[in-house]
Structure 1
Amino acid sequence: MDLHIVDLIESLNNFDENPSARLSNSIIISDYPGLISYLIQNLSGINIKILRQLLEYIPEQILEEILINETLPSKLIEHIKTQPPDYDSIKILSDIYDESIYEQLVDSEVLSKLVYSIQGAGPKMCENLVKVLVFISKHKMQEILSIPNSRNFGEILIYRLNRAQGIEKKLMLKTVTDIIFSFPDYFYINDLKVVCDIVVDSLSNQEEEILTENYEALTALMDVKDFFDLKYRFSEIYEVLQVPEGNSYILKIQDRIYSMISN
């Protein structure tokens, strides 16, 4: 192996948690292919940390080299299988997750480790675990929710949804809605109240980018009998429903919700 790469790895190993300036000054463009290849081929705890730091602090230069490396997905999943999930590996997975690649690699063993790791995890770890599980849930929702400890996932998902913004909020709200539709008994009633609060507040604030997701979430909530019978915030829901001109899909949902809460 190139001795320059060895020296580079050693110097990177000594960086603190905010190494952006020194990383940029220490690595030149020609270093990237050899450096990334070495880190991935020798994917261990410290090398995963270095890889995560590189991806986090100079992503525009590093991401392309990481994504074209065909061995990373299998090596990363194998690391998660053989070691307790750690922040660095989960953060990398949440940053580069591609369902077309990882769907076949993530099996029940990996899912269980991810779900069980939520309990007791710190805020950053929880955030990235939930992001990864949300990605995976598109194709493996039933498998995730059948894991005995999956209630932790649901609780943290609602917690993160209540604080999420933009595309993250859109994705998490869609995941919550899918769970409510498919597994109406999964969430506790208090969790459903929180979801309703989030949706009503979002509609009140006219967050147009998640308008469809808000309406779909309301429909899912109204279909849960125990929640519907509470008539929770019905008067406010009635007031905040708005339909963009020409949006027949949302208009249809609105008519259904109006009909349900007016009776």
Structure 2
Amino acid sequence: MPNRRRSWADLGPRLLSAAVLVALTASTLYIGGVVFAVVVGAIFALAYREWETMVTRAPLTPGGWVLIGFVALSGVVYPYLGPWGTTAVIAVAAVIAITMRGEAALWRVFGLVIYGAIIIAALAMRGDTIAGVWAGVYLGTVVWMTDSAAFFAGRQIGGEKLAPDISPSKTWSGAAGGLALGTGAGLVVWVLVTDSPWWIGLLLAATISVLGQLGDLSESAVKRHFRIKDSGDLIPGHGGLMDRLDSLTFGILLVLLVGALHAGFGSVAEGLLYW
């Protein structure tokens, strides 16, 4: 049996890339407003660029670049036109994608809808109050600690494969380690930033952690369908932006759902944190 302790050649690039991503996310999250909206739009436009090349199995076309531009624009318009403005931009992009036809049309539309929903969720969560910062810190801590613990536990402990037909490298030990650290770290943040009942923070953190791993597996399933290993090579040690953001997808949509149901769409962060 190969020694898993030797498989650390990519650790340095992973740590450096993670540090840069955390610094960028934290600073723009704190600034908020138009700056955060522009960065969110740009990040998910780059992620959609990877999606576009994946589902078309071809280099980018002028039509593909137009769709990427619309994804970026959908973030930029949010501070001025709100979620309906973002929805309208994504809807126009979806119509354009359909008119482009071909086998990739429905996959294009699916990607546009997913990224549009994530952009709306991220910007609604941030809002314009300090609660949006803490909600982002809570979500980011759970997701990234889950990812990190799953990576280290999976490599160090190994064992039974979690979903070998979807992602051969993932193990049950990694999933358990990710759940444990992600939930624990999220609970620490919850206790520090809010006086809401601890068990709510624990439940939400555990759910976000599980959803993060499901998001990772979902992206792996899509990549396997298109027979690619990494969505791109933009981030050293991690692959593409899709590979880095997949764990965020379902978690941030849960944050939007819980926060909006509890306190209204205009107070998503408060609805998530304060009970």
* Coarse TM-score class (shorter-chain normalised): under 0.3
**TM-score of the superposition, structure 2-length normalised?**
0.23
More helix by share: 2
**TM-score of the superposition, structure 1-length normalised?**
0.24
- Indicate the structure whose relative CO is greater, using CA pairs within 8 Å and at least 6 residues apart: 2
Larger radius of gyration: 1
